[in-house]
Amino acid sequence: MPNQMYKRHDRSDIFIHWFNAACWILLLLTGVGLIQHSAIDPFGSGYPEALRAMVGGGGNLLTIHEGIGLLWILGFVFYLIVNFKGAKFFLSEVFPVSPERDVPWLFKKMALMTIGPKVLKDPTLPDQGYYNMGQKVFAQASVVGGIVIAVTGIIMWLSDRSLGAEAVGIVSWSIFLHFIGVGLVFAGLLVHIYMAAISPEERPGFMSMFTGVVPGDYAKHHHRLWWEKIKTENK
């Protein structure tokens, strides 16, 4: 039997993923340049000054960051209008966690990927569904983090446009939450990019973010519970 291809991502899913990734990278690069305080500055000093000089001042950098941020939010609104069903499916796959399958999977997988199979008595991984637990953790962080980042971003954007002096507490806490949200998602993002783009075993998953489909043997091996479901549906 030829290796049958299974549909994994819709065109709108592929669009929103790469659109989001591009926005994230630009927002990170510009956002880090907006923090200039010796106790916080994520890279140590020099970067914010250099970036600000490049774009003609901190005010311009802020405008660029705000513009990309608003575009990012609009992109998601657009996606939700086009493929609300897809978003609902995504959330329903990402948030439910099975304690007996997913939790051991995560710990075993982390040990396997970093130290190797020898540390585990039984290196077999429990079967996973549409997303494995690692993907779920990152997806949950991106969804919750993304909402926090977007909401606090809008509050900060409104601060000097329509909010009064009584709102400064909310604005200042928004700055803190924005920072924390980005920091945590970014920590996950390092692993995400490694797994998706660099690790060889996930190569078919990487290709699926362009073509939308994965080969059957990959689906069977990596997302067995999902494969069992679609295998019967597709027949």
Partner 1 sequence: MAQQLAMVIDATKCIDCKGCVAACKVANNVPEGQWRNWIKQDEGTPTPGVLPTAKTRFQPGACMHCENPTCVDACPTGATYKDKETGAVIINDALCIGCGNCIPACPYNARFRNAVKRKADKCNYCPERRAHGLLPACVDTCPTKARVFGDINDPESEAGRLFRKNKAKLVQVAAKTDTKPNMYYIGDPGLQDWAGEAVIPASMIAMKESAPFIKGIVGLSGLGVLAMLSRQLFVSSDENKENDDA
Q: Which residues bind partner 1 (CB under 8 A)?
A: 34-37, 39-40, 42, 48, 57-63, 110, 112-117, 123-125, 156-157, 159-165, 168-169, 171-173, 175-176, 179-180, 183-184, 186-188, 190-191, 194, 198-201, 221
Applying CB under 6 A, what is the total number of residues that bind ligand HEM? 20
Type of residue found at 61: L
Q: Which residues contact 229 (CB under 8 A, 6 or more apart)?
A: none
Give 3-state DSSP helix, strand, coil % of the chain, rounded to 5. 75, 5, 25
113 binds, among partner 1, ligand HEM, none (CB under 5 to 8 A by kind): partner 1
Return the closest-CA partner of residue 87 out of 190, 37, 15: 15
Half-sphere CA count of 198, side-chain side, radius 13 A: 8
Query: Is 152 an interacting residue with respect to ligand HEM (CB under 6 A)?
Result: no
214 backbone dihedrals φ, ψ, rounded to 5°: -125, 150
Query: Is 139 an interacting residue with respect to ligand HEM (CB under 6 A)?
Result: yes
Give the residue, chosen from 52, 65, 108, 192, that forms a contact with ligand HEM under the rule CB under 6 A: 192
Give whichever of 82 and 171 is closer to partner 1, judged by the CB atom: 171
Instruction: Report the nearest approach of partner 1 to the CB of residue 168 (Å).
Output: 3
